Amino acid sequence: MDEINKILLVDDEYDIALAFSLGLQSNGFSVDMFTSPIEALSNLKVNYYNLALLDIKMPEMDGFELAQKIKDKDEKIKICFITAFDLSYQRVKEYSGCIIKKPISIDDLINKIKMEIE
């Protein structure tokens, strides 16, 4: 049996975070969901997650800053950014090159995440 992939999901929009979390869980992923980047950081399980799925625009701390703080604690974790906004890919490439544009179907989200994890 395959090891369950573990996802850290951080999006300040509760409805989106919940939809992503439920969709991922129903497809066999284990998800720790947070709507606050500060809370996500304080509850971070180091060397546990396969991938962090981070919203870019959040009020307390943007996704890039959160990604850096996560990478400082867990350099092996893969990062995917999620956003509804157009932005420069240069900043994304500094961290991972993985960007997921909202809105996205759960099937497309699952496929993108599987490509990043493998």
Taking only the tens place, the pLDDT of each residue in 9-32 is 999 999 999 999 999 999 999 999
CATH of the domain at 27: 3.40.50.2300
Domain-located, residue 14: yes
Domain-located, residue 11: yes
Q: Provide the domain limits for residue 35.
A: 6-117
What 3-state DSSP class applies to 96?
coil
Q: How many structural domains is the chain composed of?
A: 1
DSSP calls for 7-75? EEEE-S-HHHHHHHHHHHHTTT-EEEEES-HHHHHHT--TTT-SEEEEES--SSS-HHHHHHHHHHH-T
pLDDT at 1: 32
54 pLDDT above the threshold of 70 = yes
Domain-located, residue 1: no
Global pTM reads: 0.90
Domain-located, residue 81: yes
Q: If pLDDT is split at 50, 70 and 90, which confidence band does 92 have?
A: low
Domain-located, residue 48: yes
Domain-located, residue 46: yes
Regarding predicted confidence, which is higher, 8 or 96? 8
* Parallel, antiparallel or unpaired: strands 99-101 and 51-55: unpaired
